[in-house]
Structure formats: structure tokens, C-alpha cells
Structure 1
Amino acid sequence: MTNSIPAPALEKLQQPAQSINNDEIDLREVARTLGRHSKLIAGVTATMVLLSGFNALSQKPVWEGQFQIVLEDKDSGQRGLFKALQANSLFSQFTGNTGTSRSSLKTEVKILTSPSVLMPVYQFVKKQKQQQGIDVEGFRLSDWVGNVKVDLQRGTSVLNISYQDTDKKLILPVIRLISKTYQDYSGRDRTRGISQSVSYLEKQISELRKESAKSMRSAQAFALDNGLPLEGSGSLSATGLMSSQMAQGNSLTGGATLGPSSIDSSRSAAQSKVNSLMQQLAAARAAGENTVYVAPQFEANIELYGELQQLQSQLEEKLALLKPNDQSIQALKRRISSRTAYINQQTIGLLEGQLNTAQAQLTSVTRPRDVVLKHRELMSKALRDEKTLAGLEGQLQVMQLEKARQTEPWELISTPTLLDNPVAPNKKKIVALGVLGGLVLGAGAALVVDRRRGLVFSKGELKKALPCPLLKQLNVADPSSWVEPIELLAAGTLANPGDGAIALIPVGTVPNGQLDQFGRTLQQAIGNRELKITTDLLQSRDCSHQLLLASPGGANRLQLEHLKMRLALQGKPVTGWVLLDKSQVVS
């Protein structure tokens, strides 16, 4: 007769063995696993504690020195002229920006821990250790810099600086040298920047002085060649007082002027005077013998005016006493007409002389347009060079004064001090870490050992591995409590009207005492029915019921898989299984 494998059993058989290992982690089972291997965990933890304690005792004490420094110059609010130079993009690259913004402070902190700043301190420490007979072959700057810690106190520009070393006697000399190095560094960049700025200005002034003299000579030579006034013959001072000089004009009689518009001004003034004289000359000619043309600007006519006024007075007196046709009155009238004509002629002659002079002056300042424009261009360049030169000379004076001014270095707000107690090693912390590490390593080792042994302690994993339902969980610590559940099983699930035999199949290894106790109790419950305790499935297949008996850790996963496969091949239904465990929790 051929036994067929039931479909559910075949599906379970076809599932990979690893399926029972893909469950979620049960923390209670993990805790039970750790409890089962408590001796292993305790051993690993004790070993780690001993090792960490030995490590803490073998380490040399680490000493620390500290001081505080303000990352600002007391004189950072510099002179107004120097601030103006810093605002100038041309010189800001030399003088630097002394602002204390948060980003610049962080940059400064990074620079202070750089090898370029701490190199002298490193050389000193290396030399001291070498004198003590310590091998400094592997003493590297990059490793030593980690002993210097620079922290910016939050919300301030105060730096907390500390240095650590195993040599207590070396702490104070090194911390003092660090403070001196930082103070020297605080003024180093400022001095170097100002020196570079002074050198740059001196070079530019030397070149521009030559260029300014050349441009002024060109303008003056052009003026001489074209009969123009010599403009800009004086040079500007370093203080830049050129506005008043440029405002000075020149009279029509000649003289030096400053400013490219003086030629146009002279020409306009000369033309205006010519026009005025021509109008006066026309008016004097139109006056004739009857009216005197008064020209008070001429001192030569003052006496003639006086004589004319006397004659007019005499005429008025005679007209009051004599008739108009009197010979004496007619004679006075002729004398007055003659004197009037003479005064007008005298005035005309003087006006003509002034007109000729004014026309000559107009001719002297009148030049072709191209000549005037060229002269204006040359003078503008000469004056521009002079102004630039004066500005640079003023800036050079400011930088020289700033260079001569002494500045205070960064202020120490606490003296370098050595802490009374070493800061390392922290023995309690090392031992605590050893305990923690031992527990973690011990727990990990326990889980690995438990997993490699493959024994199944989890009720849930047994449920999934066995191809039948769990009927009952019995407490091995109290065998007397087994009687009632077993009798209920015998009268219920295991009842058989035909009085067929019952096969009790141990799963893996069940302690003999527990197996015997369960067998006796079950035999009493089933009475005269036969009870077969066997692991041979060929013997159990003829029984009316097959009952599996399991205990935690009694079988490994491979044994469970083999049992599952054999039961599937047998094709005989399994009634269920009973779990013997210390727990009294019923599933």
C-alpha cells in the first residue's frame, strides 16, 4: 500500500528551512537567551573590566594648563584717516579688515591652531623632550597640534586656550610661550600690511612725480609756443590746497592763471571791453559842440569840466542882467561851444586810444579753436596728475604715522595656570566603558553561541516548526498539575472508541525524568489502552493517535526539519504536541 502525502503537509515540506528564521525579533526570547548564557556574559564582562582597569592604571596622568585671551585689539578703533584708507579697496588688501564679525572670529580661531602659528611652540616642546632623553623620531607636528585646544566663548570674542601634556613640568613654560606667540601674531599682520602699503605708495609716488612733471612741462611748452599765458606754473602741495589756486583768475593785463578755462575768460573779457569802448566812442562823436559827453574815467578832463562850469555860471549871471543879444552874452556862448567841442574831442581821442589797446589785447588772447582745445587738454592732464600726486603723498603720510604708532597686543584676561589635578585618564569612566563593552560583547557572544548551537527554545518557533497544533503547555516545576490536563486530553482529543494505541513521540531530547513522568500520568489517564513511547515512525503509524512531546532546547532546527519531513512522508495525521516548560503561560 502506498501512502500519499497530504497537500498541507507537502506545502509545508516544500517551504525552505530558512523560513522559520525570518521572524521578527522577540525581545522576551532574546532576554531568555541572555539568561541562559549569563555565565558567559559575566565572564566576558569580568575580563573587560580587568582589561580596562589595567589600562586605566597603566596610563600616565595628563596635565593641563589654561589661559584666556581677548581676540580684539584695544586700539582697533583706529584713527579716522586710517579707517578711510581701510575703506579704500586699493589699500584694504594691505591694511586688512580689523572687524570682529562672527565669521572672521571663527577664521581667526582656525588660524591660531594652524602649524604656521604654533611651529615655534612645537620646536620648543620637541627640544625639551629630546633633552629628557625621549625619542622624538615619531614626534609629528600634526599629532602634537591636537594637544592645543582653542575654543571661542559663545557670544564673545574671548578665547579659552588650553594645552595638555603628560609632563607636568612642561605645561607652564609651553602655555606661556603659546600666549606670547599669539600676542606676537596679533600685531604681525598689521605691521606687515602697513609696510607693504607704504612701499606701494612710495613706488607709485616716485613714478607719478615724474609723470606729473612731464605733463606740466608739456602744457607750459605748448603755451609758450602759441603765445598763451603760462598756466599752472606752481605745483600742488601734499595737503591738496588746489581749489583756491584754481579759483584765482588773471586780469587782462596778463599774469599766470590756473585752470584750463582762463583763455576763454580772458578772450570774453577783452571782447566785452572792446564793445563797451566802441559804444562810448560813438556817443562822444554824436555829442558834437552842443552837449558835453561826460567820461569821468578820464582824469585829464576834470580841469576842462571845471572851466566849462565857470563859463556856464557867468552866462547865467549875464542873462539875468542883460538882454540875450548883448555882445558879451554872445561872446560867452561862443566860448562855451568852443570849450564843449574841445572836451568832446579830447574824450574821443582818449577813447580811441583805449579802444586800440583793448583790440590789441583781444588779438593777443584770440587763438584757433584747435590750439585752445589742445591747451585745455594738456592743462587738464597736468592738473589731474598734480592732484593725484598730492592725494598719494597725503595717504603716504597717514600710513607712515600709522606705522610709527604703537598698538597694544591682544589682552590676556587670565594668567597661564596649571590645573591642580590631572584631566586624564578618567579611571571611573574607563572602567564604566569596560563594563558596558563587556556586557555588549558578552551579549553578542551569547547570541552567536546560541545561534550556532541551533537549539530551539522559543515556543513560537516550535509552533512554526511542528506540523500540528499545540495542545497544552505544562509546567515542569509542578508535575502534580499535569494530571487534570492529561486526563482531559485522554477523555477528549485522544479518546478512541476502538481503544486504539497512542504513540508518544519525543521531539529531540526530552529529559528522562520528565518523559517518564508524562508517560506514567498519561498511561493512568488512558487506562487499558496501549501507550507506545517511541521515535520510530514505522511503529507509531499503526496507532490511532500520534502525540508529540517537546521541551525548550530539546531539539535543534535541523532535527525539527527532519522530523517534519518524516511525518510528511509517513502521511499519518499528528494529533498535536505538548510543551514541557518552566513557564506556566498557556498559549
Structure 2
Amino acid sequence: MTDVNSKNVYNPNVSEEGGINFVDVVNFFRRRKFAIGLITLISSSISVVYAYTLPPRWEGSFQIVVSRKGRSSGGFNNPMAQAQMMNSLASIAGIAEPDLGSTLKTDLVILRSPSVLRPVYEFASELKDSLPSSGKMPTFKPWLSNNVTVKQISKTKALTIKYRDTEKRLIIPVLNRMKDAYQAYSNKDRSESLSNGIAYARSQIKIFKDKSNASNRVLDNFELLHGIRSSDKWNEQESQTALFQDRQNGGQAMFSLKSGIEGISGASSGATSSIKATNNPIVDLAKINRELLRRKRIFTENDPSIKTLIRERKAISDYIALSAGGSLASPTYQPRSKEEAQTIMLDYKELKRRTKRYQNTLNSLESMLHSLSLEQARSSQPWQLISVPTLVDEMPISPVKKDIALIGFGIGLLVGSLLLFIKEAFEGKIYLIGDIEKRIPGKLLQRLPVSDTSSWKGSIALILQGLFSSSEKGKVGLLYVGDVDSGYLKLLSKCIKDGLGGRELLISGDMFDLAGCSTQILVTSPGAITYVNLERIANQILLQKPLLAGWLLIDPYI
């Protein structure tokens, strides 16, 4: 006997990598096409009926810009001026500046919040109740989820607000009410914010006005006690005149210094002095130093005029140290040391700095109050409407019957395929040709196409010529495995009988009935036998004598 087919012939139904074979998937749909088609038809029919029972839904929308719009480059419409004003108030109040980057997200939340949309829902509910056959109004949360959509336009600060309803007449009125409610809420927020800012500024003005007045009184008393004249109250000429008078009336040391300086003229060999006393001890000290240098070039160190200038220089230096550079000119109290004079001036500067800080804060608060009052008086529309509420289309947006039917078709196809796949898995029948070929211990002689039964006779004749010689005698057994179609089995047995000539052919589904045959040929088809039965028959074939000559596959897939 010679081999007609080789087991190494490529089988397109078997995946060499053990994965899902596309041909196997196609074969699955081919053998289950009627059942899958019926399930898909039922699902599609139900979807179409469902689509026609749904009420039509209309949709309308409008758009707003979230960012505030300034109409001029300055004043309170300017975003920069508003930011500076609010930042100043926040810094005075000790609160953090709001995160402007979160404005858009905040507005998205506000637009869907019950505080804004609850009145709109009640308005829509009243309108719907007034219309005949309009259906029942859902509760607020389902209504919000199914009827209202708020979305940001990509890469912009604009928002699109959409409203859907089964009543076309409700779309525009509800959208208008929604627009008005949102703008009213926005103005309310602005008005409350300004009112709170004004109230806060007024309360702080009262506090800092009291602090400023008290600090000014303490500063004035300190200046009077120590004879300090502030440059904020007198100009330089008036200050020098007052300082000179204080020193003449209450500062005898300075008076004697000036007299001594003016009396230096004529001393030492008839030399005259060019020094003239001033109201500034620092200037007087500088003049004495220059005069002293000039005289030392002319006279000796023992000259009376030089000694006099040295004494006067020391006296003025001591006076400067004890009066903090001439700033302290009290007729009733003189510092006892340089350190005490410096301490008095440090205390004075701290009092003056604190008084100035209170006054500056008070000025800022008063300016802030004025700005907030003007802003409160100015009418403002914080959200710009860029499109009026309109219907998206004159036709309903839903239900889209075509889409629903396609969804039903897809669900039917998927569910039907899954159910039939599970059914085949539970049945345990072998449909993959590769699995059959692996389990039968013999050569696959031929795949007989169901689509072309007329070719069977010629194929069988060639197979038998290769298997048997003309001199061979004995019975030939045809073992059919599983539920092979009887029509195909009868046709196959006729072809084999014609090819055997005068040899007897026994046909049975039981191997023991064919025990007396000298040669056996097995025939089966995909789905005709389970894995368990095929494994059992394969073991019996291995134990029997003679061995199986080969097997035939009635293939419905080619």
C-alpha cells in the first residue's frame, strides 16, 4: 500500500501557533448561521419596536464666556485694577488670594448646582404639568443627569449649556429661565462680595482711625517732652528758627558756645575769626574745624585762639552727643549721656514709624472703601452671553432609530454567537479539523467536500488503487464515527463499492462488527463526535489488528 496523502500537508484550519484561527471562526459562523441569524433577527426586531415606542426628544443650547470682560484700559473695569484692588483688600484682611485657574471648574460646578437649577427645575415642572399628555416629570437628580449638559468648548473659556426634553415647547422657555437664573446668581455673588468688602473696610477704618489718633497723640507728647520738631510739621526754615529760639531760651550751653565762637575774633596777635554762629551745631562744628586748621598753619599750638577753638569744639561735640545732633532741645529735660540721647531718638523713630504705618493703612482702607462703593454702584453683567437660547434642530435629536436598530443587531450577533459557542463547549463535540486529525491514529486519506459530491467517486477510486492491489482479497470495513449524515454515508459507501470491484464492503459504527475485515477505513465529519468518544475509539484502533488503513473526512467547509 502506498501513501496517497501526507500528514504534513498544510491544514489552513489549524493555527500553527496554537492561537485563534480566523478560518475556524468563519467555520463557526457557517455552521451556526441559521441559529445566530435567528437570534440577531429577534434582537433587531425588538430594537426597532423599542425605537418606535420611545418619545421624541428635542434639544436647545446657548453659550456663555466665563471670563469677565473689561471695557476700558483703566478704572474699575480694568481686570488689572480689579486684581490689584482685591489683592490689596486680601493682604489687609490677611486672607489668601483665590486661585484664578480654578474659575472655570468652579463655574462648571455652579452651573449644575441645585442652588442655580432647582428654580429652573420647578419652572420646567410647572410648564410640563400645564401641558396635556406631556408625561410625568422626573425628580431633580434624574432630570439633571438626563436633561441638562454643561460642557467646556475645547481650549476656550466658553461654556455650552444644553437642555433636552420630550416637549419641544419647553426648550426655549427653560433655557431662558436657566440663563436668567445663572446671571442672577452671578450678580448675587458679586453683590454679596462687594457688600462684605465694604463692611470689612468700614470696620477696619474705624479700628485704624482710633489707632492712628492714639499714636499721633503719643508722638506729639513725646516731641513736646524732648523738644523734638518733626519735619512733617514745619519746613526747614521754621524748624531752624524754632530750634534757635529753644536753644536761646532753654539751652544755655549753646548760647555760650555761640558767644564764645563770635568772641574768638581778634585773639592771638590781632587775628580775626571768620566764624559766624548758625542755628545748626553740626555746621558750627565744621566751621570751627576749618578755622582750627587754618590757624594751626599760622600760629603755634599754645596760641590762645587755638586753645579757645579747641575748647569750643569740645563743647559743641558734647552738645551734639547729648542732644542727638541738635534734635533734642527740651528746656526742662536734658539727657545725661550720649546713650540716653540715642535711646530717646530710637524710641522717637519707632513711634513715628508706627504712626506713619497706621496712617498709610488708614489711607489705603479709605481708598479701598471708595473704590468698592463705586464698584457697587456700577451695574455689571459678569457673564457674557455669546449665543442666545435656540433649538439645535427642528427635528428631534432622539431616538435615532437607525442607531438603535444597529445596536440591537450588534447585541443579537454578539449574544447569539456567545450562547452558541457556550453550547458547543458544553456538548464537547469536535469541530476543529486539526483536533480530529491529532486524535485519529492514521493517515487522512481525503477531505471530501460536501459542496461537490460529484468528485467523490474519482477521489475514492484513486485512494483505493493506492491502498489495495488487484490480487488482494478479503473484506473491507467502513467504520463511521459519530453522527455522520446518512445521505453522505450512503453516497460514500456506493463510491467505495464501485472502487473495490468484487470485494465485499461492510459498513458499521461499531468496530467489533468489522473484526473479520482485513482492512478498515474510518469516516467522520466535524461535529459528529465528542472528544471523549473519539479518544476511546482511537485507543481501540491502536489495539486492534489489522491496523487502520486511513480515514476520510466529510468536510462541510470546502
Q: TM-score, normalised by structure 1?
A: 0.70
Distance change >3 Å, CA 73–CA 375, structure 1 → 2: closer
What's the CA shift string for 1:207-266, capped at 9, x where partnerless?
222222222223333445x4535x56xxxxxxxxxx96586575355389xxxxxx9x99
* Alignment equivalent of 1:55, drawn from 35, 50, 54: 50
Mapped pair 1:278 → 2:278: no
* Alignment equivalent of 2:499, drawn from 525, 538, 547: 525
Distance change >3 Å, CA 93–CA 168, structure 1 → 2: farther
Tell me how far apart the structure 1 counterparts of residues 353 and 111 of structure 2 sit (CA, whole Å): 51
Amino acid at match of 1:367: P
**Aligned residue for 1:199?**
199
**Aligned residue for 1:39?**
34
* Alignment equivalent of 2:547, drawn from 573, 576, 583: 573
What's the CA shift string for 1:53-99, capped at 9, x where partnerless?
22111111112222222323333763565442234352699897696
**Aligned residue for 1:12?**
none
What's the CA shift string for 1:343-372, capped at 9, x where partnerless?
xxxxxxxxxxxx9xx999967384342444
Mapped pair 1:66 → 2:58: no
Mapped pair 1:394 → 2:367: yes
Tell me how far apart the structure 2 counterparts of residues 479 and 383 of structure 1 sit (CA, whole Å): 114
What's the CA shift string for 1:511-541, capped at 9, x where partnerless?
3443333334333433444433233333434
Tell me how far apart the structure 1 counterparts of residues 503 and 159 of structure 2 sit (CA, whole Å): 93
User: Contact 2:427/2:530 (CA < 8 Å) preserved in 1?
Assistant: yes
Helix, strand or coil: the match of 2:388?
strand
User: How far off is 1:47 after superposition?
Assistant: 1.6
* Alignment equivalent of 1:254, drawn from 242, 262, 276: 242
Unmatched tracts of structure 2, length 5 or more: 1-14, 278-315
**Aligned residue for 2:141?**
141
**Aligned residue for 2:528?**
554
Identity of aligned residues (%): 29
User: Contact 1:113/1:145 (CA < 8 Å) preserved in 2?
Assistant: no
User: Contact 2:121/2:140 (CA < 8 Å) preserved in 1?
Assistant: no
User: Contact 2:447/2:554 (CA < 8 Å) preserved in 1?
Assistant: yes
Aligned runs of 1:421-570 on 2, under 5 Å?
Answer: 421-476=395-450, 478-495=452-469, 499-570=473-544
**Aligned residue for 2:70?**
75
User: Contact 1:33/1:450 (CA < 8 Å) preserved in 2?
Assistant: no
Tell me how far apart the structure 1 counterparts of residues 490 and 248 of structure 2 sit (CA, whole Å): 142
**Aligned residue for 2:355?**
382
Tell me how far apart the structure 2 counterparts of residues 253 and 511 of structure 1 sit (CA, whole Å): 136
Tell me how far apart the structure 2 counterparts of residues 219 and 189 of structure 1 sit (CA, whole Å): 44
Amino acid at match of 2:199: S
User: How far off is 1:548 after superposition?
Assistant: 0.5
Q: Name the stretch that deviates more: 58-67 or 147-156.
A: 147-156
User: How far off is 1:421 after superposition?
Assistant: 1.9
User: How far off is 1:203 after superposition?
Assistant: 1.6
User: Contact 1:61/1:424 (CA < 8 Å) preserved in 2?
Assistant: yes
Tell me how far apart the structure 2 counterparts of residues 248 and 392 of structure 1 sit (CA, whole Å): 31
**Aligned residue for 2:335?**
367
User: How far off is 1:163 after superposition?
Assistant: 0.9
What's the CA shift string for 1:363-388, capped at 9, x where partnerless?
73843424444444334333332333
User: How far off is 1:505 after superposition?
Assistant: 1.0
Aligned runs of 1:48-447 on 2, under 5 Å?
Answer: 48-75=43-70, 78-79=77-78, 82-88=82-88, 89-90=90-91, 104-130=103-129, 139-141=139-141, 143-224=143-224, 226=225, 228-229=227-228, 250-254=238-242, 275-284=257-266, 364=331, 366-368=334-336, 369=340, 370-418=343-391, 419-447=393-421
Tell me how far apart the structure 2 counterparts of residues 544 and 196 of structure 1 sit (CA, whole Å): 110
Tell me how far apart the structure 1 counterparts of residues 456 and 135 of structure 2 sit (CA, whole Å): 77
Distance change >3 Å, CA 266–CA 283, structure 1 → 2: closer
Helix, strand or coil: the match of 1:55?
helix
Tell me how far apart the structure 2 counterparts of residues 528 and 294 of structure 1 sit (CA, whole Å): 165
User: Contact 1:507/1:549 (CA < 8 Å) preserved in 2?
Assistant: yes
What's the CA shift string for 1:162-213, capped at 9, x where partnerless?
2111122222221111111222233333322222222222222212222222
User: How far off is 1:489 after superposition?
Assistant: 3.0
Amino acid at match of 2:260: M
Q: Name the stretch that deviates more: 451-460 or 28-37.
A: 451-460
User: Contact 2:429/2:530 (CA < 8 Å) preserved in 1?
Assistant: yes
Q: Name the stretch that deviates more: 115-124 or 279-288.
A: 279-288
Amino acid at match of 1:504: L
Distance change >3 Å, CA 266–CA 54, structure 1 → 2: farther
Alpha-carbon RMSD across the aligned residues, in angstroms, is 4.2
Tell me how far apart the structure 2 counterparts of residues 478 and 295 of structure 1 sit (CA, whole Å): 141
Distance change >3 Å, CA 500–CA 570, structure 1 → 2: same
Helix, strand or coil: the match of 2:467?
coil
Amino acid at match of 1:57: Y
User: How far off is 1:276 after superposition?
Assistant: 4.9
Tell me how far apart the structure 2 counterparts of residues 128 and 270 of structure 1 sit (CA, whole Å): 97
Q: TM-score, normalised by structure 2?
A: 0.73
Q: Name the stretch that deviates more: 543-552 or 372-381.
A: 372-381
User: Contact 2:36/2:413 (CA < 8 Å) preserved in 1?
Assistant: yes
User: Contact 1:126/1:139 (CA < 8 Å) preserved in 2?
Assistant: no
Tell me how far apart the structure 1 counterparts of residues 487 and 46 of structure 2 sit (CA, whole Å): 44
User: Contact 2:227/2:330 (CA < 8 Å) preserved in 1?
Assistant: no
Amino acid at match of 2:438: K
Tell me how far apart the structure 1 counterparts of residues 36 and 470 of structure 2 sit (CA, whole Å): 51
Distance change >3 Å, CA 214–CA 295, structure 1 → 2: closer
**Aligned residue for 1:27?**
22
What's the CA shift string for 1:129-165, capped at 9, x where partnerless?
4556989796133642542222333343333222111
Tell me how far apart the structure 1 counterparts of residues 21 and 172 of structure 2 sit (CA, whole Å): 58
